[in-house]
Structure 1
Amino acid sequence: MTFDPIRIGIIGVHPDQGWASSAHIPALKALPQFKLQALAHHQEDVAKAAAEKFDIPSYHFSTHDLVNDPEVDMVVVTVKVTRHRDAISKAIDAGKKVFSEWPLGVNLAEAEALRDLAREAGVSNFIGLQTRSAPAFRTMRTLISEGFVGRVLSATMIGSGIVWGHEMSDGFEYTLDPDNGAGMLQVPFAHSLDGLLDALGQRVVDHVCTLSNSRHTIRLSNSGRNVPLSVPDQILLSARLSDGTALMSHFRGGLCQGTNFHVEVNGTEGDLLLTSPVGYVGIGGTRLQGARNGAPLEDMDIPPEHDMHAAVGAPAQNVAIQYARIANDCFRGTSNAPTFDDARDLHALIAALARGGSWH
């Protein structure tokens, strides 16, 4: 059975920067199940330049025009989260399939509203929780389910936020407003926690979470301004999962010379260790090791079925794997790609962590 490619329209494409150009476009170009049909950017010269660079047939200067383009089947939303509600709502109203980058909304209420809107309209919807697609996390999930570590006893995760350290680009200044829902808690920490929980096949049932600031100001590298660091740069989580597994996590802003990403799963019969030189596993350089019954750690092979589309490189590979899952869901009726329902649940967890934590 053959299918016509799903025609994609992306909102928020710049020719030289951004997640769309570095991850989504390389991923989509590697997959015959999709066709890059259109893009939108509010600046005419930017839209035209991006369309020419990436060989995309049409471009628009407004969200309204893109979502109503009859040649577009699925709208991909890659703008700042503060603009998600407007873009996603318009795509749903136009009856289009929607793939939104995470976070779905600036808060739980907005995420629930968008989830409900998509449900009522009956449109297919997907959320960019691509850490679940990372080959090392997928392999870890398989090994755990097959009993490599025996019964899981505990999981530990240490991470660096990359941003929210000593300085950041002026382009990230909007993340310092807590109302924008784009801080370290909502983005790298949420992505990483979601990937780990998916690998474990568990959910959080009890937790203690502390959010704090070790830094009180941050330098904006382009303008040289020092501004208040008004979102947490330290996240400390202690949790019990649905099967009784103990989970501990510490995320800190910026990068360090030591451990930037470390996930350890300890079981009755073995251990798994996933590391990366940067704070987010989607950037690349991931290493998975394992050991059983007291033997030393050794590198674990990533099976080919988990390491698809490696040729596109990081960070596009994880996104390509997620798009492949979306294609299967659309064409074959599977339910493997995360949806707005998953986004709502993760938003609810992050909101609970924020409410249950202390703020210093």
Structure 2
Amino acid sequence: MNSNPIKVGIIGVHPEKGWAATAHIPALKALPEFRITAVSHNKPEIARAAALKFGADHGFGTTDELVNDPNVDLVVVTVKVPRHLELVTKALVAGKAVFSEWPLGMNLPDAETMLALAKSKNVFTAIGLQTRSVPAVSYMRDLIKNGYVGDVLSVSIIGSGIIWGEEISESYQYTLDMANGASMLHVPFAHTLDAALYALGLGLKSVSGALSNSRSAVRIAETGNQIAFTAPDQIVVGGLLENGAALSAHFRGGLSRGTNFHIEINGTKGDLILTSPVGYVGLGGFTLKGAQRDEQMHELPVPSDYETSGLEDGFSQSVGVAYSRIASDITNHTNLSPTFEDAVNLHRILNAIWSGKAEPHDV
């Protein structure tokens, strides 16, 4: 055990379910650089049960108690997006380092507000763009950086939202309202685009997009009721990278019987293809293939040193890699983690896609 671990307080923890229990806590438990000292839930009895189960010192019924606890160094925000502005603001005002799940805010102005406050407080921030921590994506980035594909010529992306199809769970109903900032555009598409740009080591020079609904209604799984489907279930994006290479992307709601996840990078010296049987970059199960010169496409196994020991492929592993980078940033003053500034930049790209067009200086 680290003699001086980073003390973590997690907002929004249930002992039996939820993103914190599924991904964050297993990751933190596997890393000696951290210790969970506090958890919170808006129901005090649930907070206490979560603290008991996960070994936290305190289970708080309010956010104010957690962010003002002197035994919390890093506040982690794992609740639904509509509450991010309120809760992140409280943590920043208390002077705490903050790791917020993505999306940072429901919209660009919210994200910009949190970034400005973080800068004024001069505190450490990290954003949950954990797709950058997926071992296959990190390996892909290093291959490109070391010249495997040569100069990038084009990037093609196909993805499926998994939800936003013909049926949706009641707990995800809030994702059907674009105003909540958790639609297919904001979550699986944004994570996938961010992963691709991170692997490329390139930004976007220009981007435009079109969003549409191929379904007018969606069925609630628990009740069978049909409700209006207003969030886009089709996303088509085109753009140019900083080096002039073309980028195209198509995301569709639900799951396809064919291709559900595919990122293809074509270059002057070689090609890389990242695939998965599911439609979301965070779920794991990736296969990375490549070829140079006259080679046939062949699998490129990801070296074991890209993985976090003790964590299985999937959510908790990518979150674990993200936390190990956060530990390095806080302790050794490295710059490995995506920050609130990165979050604002991604929000700006989504805004440009949503509006239908963007000039280079907009992204």
TM-score (norm 2): 0.96
Unaligned 5+ residue runs, structure 1? Answer: none
The equivalent residue for 2:245 is 245
Shift of 1:357: 5.5
SS where residue 99 of structure 2 aligns?
A: strand
The aligned residue for residue 292 of structure 2 is: 292
> Counterparts of 1:115 and 1:144 in 2: how far apart (Å)?
31
Distance 1:53 1:256 in 2: 39
Using the TM superposition, give the Cα deviation of residue 49 of structure 1 relative to its aligned residue in structure 2, in angstroms.
Answer: 2.3
Q: What residue number does 1:90 align with?
A: 90
Q: CA deviation at 1:307?
A: 2.0
**How far 1:313 moved relative to its partner?**
3.8
Determine the structure 2 residue equivalent to 1:279. 279
**Preserved contact between residue 28 and residue 36 of structure 1 (Cα < 8 Å):** yes
Q: Which amino acid in 2 is paired with 1:116?
A: A
- Residue type matched to 2:332 in 1? R
SS in 1 for 2:265: strand
Q: Distance in 1 between matches of 2:222 and 2:301?
A: 42
Q: Distance in 2 between the 1:13 and 1:277 partners?
A: 30
SS at match of 2:215: coil
Local SS of the residue matching 1:163:
coil
CA apart distance, 1:257: 1.9
Kept in 2: contact 1:186–1:350 (CA 8 A):
yes
* Residues 308-317 or 232-241, more deviating: 308-317
Q: 8 Å contact 2:154–2:267 — kept in the other structure?
A: yes
1:65 maps onto 2:65 in alignment: yes
Aligned residue number for residue 264 of structure 2: 264
Give the structure 2 partner of residue 128 of structure 1.
128
| TM-score normalised to structure 1 length | 0.96
Q: Structure 2: give runs of 5+ residues left out of the alignment.
A: 359-363
Deviation at 1:115, TM superposition (A): 0.3
Q: Percent identity?
A: 51
Partner of 1:8: 8
Instruction: Give the aligned partner of residue 182 of structure 1.
Output: 182
The farther-off stretch of 219-228 and 317-326 is: 219-228
Matched, 1:164 2:164: yes
Q: Secondary structure at the match of 1:49?
A: helix
Aligned to 1:346: 346
Show CA shifts across 1:191-238 (max 9, x none): 110010011111111223110111111111123221111110000011
Task: Give me the whole-angstrom Cα distance separating, in 2, the residues matched to 1:43 and 1:222.
Answer: 24
Larger deviation, residues 75-84 vs 3-12 = 3-12
Q: How far did 1:26 drift?
A: 0.5
CA distance in 1, matches of 2:161, 2:15: 26
Alpha-carbon shift at residue 97 of structure 1 (Å):
0.7
Residue by residue, what CA displacement relative to the aligned partner does 1:30-77 show, whole Å, maximum 9, x if unpaired? Answer: 100100111000112322222222222210011111111111111000
Which residue of structure 2 aligns with residue 326 of structure 1? Answer: 326
Per-residue CA deviations over 1:264-323 (Å, capped at 9, x if unaligned) read 111112111101111112111111011111211111121233223363442100011011
* Aligned pairs, number: 357
2:361 aligns with: none
1:108 matched to 2:108? The reply is yes
Cα distance in 1 for residues equivalent to 2:148 and 2:59: 50
> How far apart, CA to CA, are the structure 2 residues paired with 1:93 and 1:50?
26
